[in-house]
């Protein structure tokens, strides 16, 4: 930036043009073709309406620039006096009407296809919450949260940004190729919108209501998108990543998930069967804090005004343990403090509460055990 | 009944007299001046908000502000520009010009006129004071979607709600005044179908205001009761529906878009014939097209909501109705080109701005037509493509039209010609800067960048840097506009009464500068 404003006028222009060109090459000039049949149909419709606009624009602007040159006062000192022609006016009312009718016929056809949510092979409930996605495999009966995995150091320009900056998550959604996957969208708090450009699926996730959309993805691969409805502070940090795997590997993946879930259950039992020391809990708590709490309450616990209260010196953090546990487990109604109970394990919650009560400027000396959390649920 | 400088008792301090004169004025020219100055001030405030978040968007990562402050800037930019800059500018022009164009001595309800202006500083004082409150300013976008604005809104949201209600009262009173004036105070012989196009478009706009603004007032009041009085209009857990908010908001919001553009159509329809030295082509069809656009504007609101899970039949209706708007809008553009055809054109600054309006508004119209295609809207919706569209419609639309009007009528208002060379520099730098700013947004949107995000993925960097550079240049050009206006008010070559060789209409029969009172006896129109 400093360079841009220190060079000469011509240099500055060259610099700007360089940015325009590099930007265009980095992302392309056009709508992404995507991989599904629908996304390609939409791109074809986009091109149709774009070309209609370009042709109409060329005619209208062409006539306008011709008259600007040909009928300026030095060329045409005596203006004409005519000021209406019913015939011409009827013609240029009818022609746009016909163009519009021509456009809506293919558009209606595609829209009917998009809205046909019947006969799905697999249904996934996509629930938005501030600011993460939860994916629930309804037939298989399990689910998980999907959080942004870009480190805050990259967002705050301390570290160089990775290739998939802001478009990477810890647990991507996994779906099989070639099958019709139905996405039900809903929300735990405000309105979010689940968008994968390459599938041409964009569906708002409304609290208390369920919407549906579907995709049949022929090509395995990793597809990235974002939340597209302003959902509060971290709206920019709510990516969607979908791994499409071959159909025959999908059942295997589901089985692996089941085994992992069982292992998690056993680990939870092991965790609450023994006492943990402060030295063990603090580093776990710090990790949990930084990846879940720090975006609002800040890494140093200083908070952001009254909406995101400070941890340092907080009455809840330094008060009775029960109230602190309840706040973390159940959230605070009517605020952006969400219920972390369903999202984190007993150990993680015990660790983060221990961390909050013995760091960030607080010094209660208390150690909270996973068993306490288990009993508070 | 008219309180102005003469009526205020002498012997007071000059500053007190000055304040009382502007506070108590019921003169349409003075109130018009107040409206225009107020909107210009808010135009700069809203612009400063835009430059603040554009600076943040110059590079990926967070450099200057937190994501929450970014959202506050985006929200206030939208609210201030829509309600504080564009609408009062058009109301100011209406106050100033409608009585002059229909041969009336003033607005029909002068005290109401004073009242509707003086509500505005309080409405925006409330809104802008939210910036300094704990929890910050409203941060949920100018569309105020529930439940982000209700359950999750900061405490200052109540100030926004109250400000919005005040602003609604002001607009409704202003609209009533305009309708009453046009229906009752036209000079003898000025039939409806002889009215200048600016008066016609404003008459239709005033009806839109009366129908749309109470809906806005209603929806913000529902927000207030949801926030504080235990109702659940928008709260699913209480039996409500967050989509009710969107339906009601856009039932106001779509006519609002036309409230912000129809007076611009009127301005272009006055300026183009003047500088083409040829009468407006298809006057009657222009009137009918304006009325058709206004009527359709009430049945298309759902096109803002294609991604919310509407049933197929509803989506089809909103797609068809929306695309139909292209027809009357097309008629207007064709008529302007036909007006120019075989004319004898010169290109003074007002004409340049009017032509810039026609060309770039048409580009915004094209992207609007593309957005109306419901299936493809799933890809465009809530991306920067929409940001590009709305700014092509509003910046070279509403704002260029206002600037064209100011250059066109300022010699009449002040008696001085503006600096033609500076005016042309202003136009060309503004055209270049606004295209640098907004054109790349089409591409980032198509590439998949959502709007209203404080931080973005790396492929969008180049075009965003480009747009930010354009935005700062655009900001500078408007400082030049301020300078040109101040210079013109202070002096300059004397304007004739006719001002523009090809201009027609009652306002040009009056002396330049305008005396405080005009048409005390109505002119005869044949």
* Domain boundary, last residue among A264, A284, A318: A264
Same domain, yes or no: A128 and A244 = yes
Q: Is residue A23 part of a domain?
A: no
Identify whether B456 is a catalytic site residue. no
- Bridge-based pairing of strands A122-129 and A180-187 is parallel
Same domain, yes or no: A254 and A282 = no
Using CA of residue B6, residue B8, residue B12, residue B14, what is the dihedral sign?
Answer: negative
Whether A167 sits inside 8 A of B457 (CB atoms) is yes
Q: Is residue A81 part of a domain?
A: yes
pLDDT of B437 reads 95
Identify whether B258 is a catalytic site residue. yes
CA atoms within 13 Å, Cβ hemisphere of B234: 32
Q: Is residue A307 part of a domain?
A: yes
pLDDT of A1 reads 33
Same domain, yes or no: A307 and A368 = yes
Residues in chain B with CB shorter than 8 Å from the CB of A91 are none
Catalytic member of B29, B278, B303, B381: B303
Q: What is the pLDDT of residues A248-288, one digit of tens each?
A: 999 999 999 988 888 888 888 888 888 888 888 999 999 89
Same domain, yes or no: A343 and A250 = no
pLDDT of A42 reads 94
> Element (H or E) spanning A233, and its range?
none
Distance CA B302, CA B316 (A): 10
Q: Select the residue from A35, A60, A153 to test the B interface by mutation, using most B Cβ atoms within 10 A.
A: A60
Distance CA A233, CA B496 (A): 56
Q: Is residue A20 part of a domain?
A: no
* Domain boundary, last residue among A264, A284, A314: A264
B128-153: burial string, b at 16+ Cβ within 10 Å, e else: bebeeeebbbbbbbbbbbbbbbbbbb
Chain A, chain B: beta-carbon pairs less than 8 Å apart: 334
Whether B337 sits inside 8 A of A63 (CB atoms) is yes
Same domain, yes or no: A372 and A289 = yes
Min Cα distance A278 → chain B (Å) is: 33
ipTM: 0.91
Please check whether residue B247 touches A, CB under 8 A. no
Min Cα distance B367 → chain A (Å) is: 8
Q: A377: helix, coil or strand?
A: coil
- Bridge-based pairing of strands A221-227 and A192-196 is antiparallel
CA angle, residues B107, B111, B112, in degrees to nearest 5: 80
Q: Is residue A74 part of a domain?
A: yes
Cβ neighbors of A154 (< 8 A, separation 6 or more) are A160, A161, A162, A165, B61
For chain A, what is the domain count? 3
CATH homologous superfamily for B5-509?
Cytochrome c oxidase-like, subunit I domain (1.20.210.10)
* Domain boundary, last residue among A217, A233, A264: A264
Q: Select the residue from A32, A38, A64, A241 to test the B interface by mutation, using most B Cβ atoms within 10 A.
A: A64
User: Above 60 in pLDDT, residue B6?
Assistant: no
Same domain, yes or no: A206 and A258 = yes
Distance CA B144, CA B220 (A): 9
Q: Is residue A327 part of a domain?
A: yes
Q: What share of chain B in percent tops pLDDT 70? A: 98
- Report CA B336 to chain centroid distance, whole Å: 21
* Domain CATH code at residue A71: 1.10.287.90
Residue B211 pairs in a beta bridge with none
Give residues 458 to 477 of B whose Cβ lies within 8 Å of A.
458-466, 469
Q: What is the pLDDT of residues B340-367, one digit of tens each?
A: 999 999 999 999 999 999 999 999 999 9
Whether A24 sits inside 8 A of B71 (CB atoms) is no
* Domain CATH code at residue A203: 2.60.40.420
* Domain CATH code at residue A344: 1.10.760.10
Q: What is the mean pLDDT of residues B257-266?
A: 95
Same domain, yes or no: A236 and A173 = yes
Same domain, yes or no: A241 and A287 = no
Count the residues in chain A: 377
Same domain, yes or no: A249 and A127 = yes
Same domain, yes or no: A129 and A69 = no
Tell me what the pLDDT averaged over chain B comes to.
94
Q: Is residue A175 part of a domain?
A: yes
> Element (H or E) spanning B98, and its range?
helix B87-102
Whether A155 sits inside 8 A of B62 (CB atoms) is yes
Please check whether residue B268 touches A, CB under 8 A. no
Q: What is the pLDDT of residues B102-159, one digit of tens each?
A: 999 999 999 999 999 999 999 999 999 999 998 899 999 999 999 999 999 999 999 9
Whether B378 sits inside 8 A of A42 (CB atoms) is yes
Same domain, yes or no: A61 and A134 = no
Tell me what the pLDDT averaged over chain A comes to.
89
Cβ neighbors of B437 (< 8 A, separation 6 or more) are B391, B467, B470, B471, B473, B474
Whether A83 sits inside 8 A of B343 (CB atoms) is no
For residue A62, give its domain range: 31-114
Catalytic member of B54, B186, B278, B332: B332
Same domain, yes or no: A354 and A228 = no
Min Cα distance A171 → chain B (Å) is: 19
Q: Is residue A87 part of a domain?
A: yes
């Amino acid at each position: 930036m400093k360079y841009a404003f220190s060079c000469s006028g011509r240099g500055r222009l060259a610099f700007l043009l360089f940015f325009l060109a590099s930007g265009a090459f980095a992302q392309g000039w056009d709508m992404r073709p995507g991989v599904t049949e629908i996304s390609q149909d939409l791109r074809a419709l986009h091109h149709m309406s774009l070309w209609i606009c370009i042709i109409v624009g060329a005619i209208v602007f062409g006539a306008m620039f011709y008259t600007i040159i040909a009928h300026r006062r030095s060329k045409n000192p005596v203006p004409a006096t005519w000021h209406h022609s019913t015939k011409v006016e009827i013609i240029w009312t009818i022609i746009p009407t016909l163009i519009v009718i021509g456009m809506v016929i293919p558009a209606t056809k595609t829209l009917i296809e998009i809205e046909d949510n019947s006969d799905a092979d697999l249904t996934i409930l996509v629930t938005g919450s501030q600011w993460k996605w939860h994916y629930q495999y309804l037939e298989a009966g399990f689910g998980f949260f999907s959080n942004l995995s870009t480190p805050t150091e990259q967002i705050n320009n301390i570290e160089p940004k990775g290739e998939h900056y802001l478009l990477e998550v810890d647990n991507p959604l996994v779906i099989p190729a070639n099958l019709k996957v139905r996405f039900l969208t809903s929300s735990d708090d405000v309105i979010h919108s689940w968008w994968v450009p390459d599938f041409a699926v964009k569906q708002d996730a409304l609290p208390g209501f369920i919407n549906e959309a579907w995709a049949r993805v022929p090509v395995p691969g990793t597809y990235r998108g974002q939340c597209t409805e302003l959902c509060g502070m971290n709206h920019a940090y709510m990516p969607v990543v979908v791994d499409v795997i071959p159909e025959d590997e999908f059942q295997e993946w589901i089985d692996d998930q089941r085994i992992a879930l069982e292992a998690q259950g056993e680990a939870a039992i092991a965790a609450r069967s023994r006492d943990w020391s402060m030295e063990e809990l603090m580093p776990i708590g710090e990790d949990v804090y930084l990846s879940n709490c720090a975006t609002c309450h800040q890494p140093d616990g200083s908070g952001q005004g009254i909406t995101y209260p400070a941890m340092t010196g907080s009455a809840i953090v330094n008060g009775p343990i029960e109230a602190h546990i309840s706040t973390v487990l159940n959230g605070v109604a009517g605020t952006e403090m969400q219920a972390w109970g369903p999202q984190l394990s007993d150990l993680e919650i015990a660790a983060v509460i221990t961390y909050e009560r013995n760091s960030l400027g607080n010094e209660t000396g208390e150690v909270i055990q996973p068993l306490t959390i288990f009993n508070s649920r | 009944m008219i309180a102005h400088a003469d009526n205020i008792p002498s012997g007071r301090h000059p500053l007190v007299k000055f304040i009382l004169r502007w506070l108590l004025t019921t003169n349409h020219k003075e109130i018009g001046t107040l409206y225009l100055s107020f909107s210009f001030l808010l135009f700069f405030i809203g612009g400063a908000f835009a430059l603040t978040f554009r600076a943040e968007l110059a590079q990926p990562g967070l450099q200057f502000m937190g994501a929450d402050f970014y959202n506050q800037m985006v929200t206030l930019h939208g609210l201030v520009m829509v309600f504080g800059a564009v609408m009062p500018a058009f109301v100011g022009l209406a106050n100033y010009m409608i009585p002059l164009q229909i041969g009336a001595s003033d607005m029909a309800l002068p005290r109401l006129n004073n009242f509707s202006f003086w509500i505005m500083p309080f409405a925006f004082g409330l809104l802008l004071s939210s910036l300094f409150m704990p929890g910050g300013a409203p941060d949920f976008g100018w569309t105020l979607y529930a439940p982000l604005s209700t359950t999750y809104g900061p405490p200052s949201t109540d100030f926004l709600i109250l400000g919005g209600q005040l602003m609604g009262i002001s607009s409704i009173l202003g609209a009533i005044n305009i309708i009453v004036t046009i229906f009752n105070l036209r000079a003898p012989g000025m039939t409806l179908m002889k009215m200048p196009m600016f008066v016609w478009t404003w008459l239709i706009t005033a009806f839109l205001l009366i129908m749309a603004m109470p809906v806005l007032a209603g929806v913000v009041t529902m927000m207030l009761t949801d926030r504080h009085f235990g109702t659940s209009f928008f709260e699913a857990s209480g039996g409500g529906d967050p989509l009710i908010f969107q339906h009601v908001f856009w039932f106001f919001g779509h006519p609002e878009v036309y409230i912000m553009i129809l007076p611009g159509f009127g301005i272009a329809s006055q300026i183009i014939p003047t500088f083409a030295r040829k009468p407006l082509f298809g006057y009657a069809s222009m009137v009918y097209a304006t009325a058709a656009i206004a009527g359709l504007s009430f049945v298309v609101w759902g096109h803002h909501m294609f991604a919310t899970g509407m049933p197929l039949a509803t989506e089809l209706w909103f797609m068809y109705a929306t695309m139909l708007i292209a027809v009357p809008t097309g008629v207007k553009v064709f008529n302007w080109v036909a007006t120019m055809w075989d004319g004898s054109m010169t290109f003074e600054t007002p004409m340049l701005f009017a032509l810039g309006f026609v060309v770039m508004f048409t580009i915004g119209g094209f992207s609007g037509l593309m957005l109306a295609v419901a299936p493809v809207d799933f890809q465009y919706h809530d991306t920067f493509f929409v940001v590009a569209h709305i700014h092509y419609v509003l910046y070279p639309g509403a704002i260029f039209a206002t600037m064209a009007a100011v250059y066109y009528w300022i010699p009449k208002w002040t008696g001085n010609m503006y600096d033609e060379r500076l005016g042309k520099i202003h136009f060309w730098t503004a055209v270049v800067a606004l295209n640098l700013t907004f054109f790349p947004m089409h591409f980032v949107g198509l590439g998949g960048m959502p709007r209203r995000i404080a931080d973005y993925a790396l492929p969008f960097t180049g075009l965003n840097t480009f747009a930010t550079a354009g935005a700062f240049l655009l900001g500078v050009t408007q400082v030049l506009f301020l300078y040109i206006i101040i210079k013109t008010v202070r002096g300059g070559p004397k304007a004739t009464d006719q001002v523009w060789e090809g201009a027609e209409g009652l306002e040009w029969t009056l002396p330049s500068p305008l005396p405080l009172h005009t048409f005390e006896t109505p002119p005869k129109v044949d």
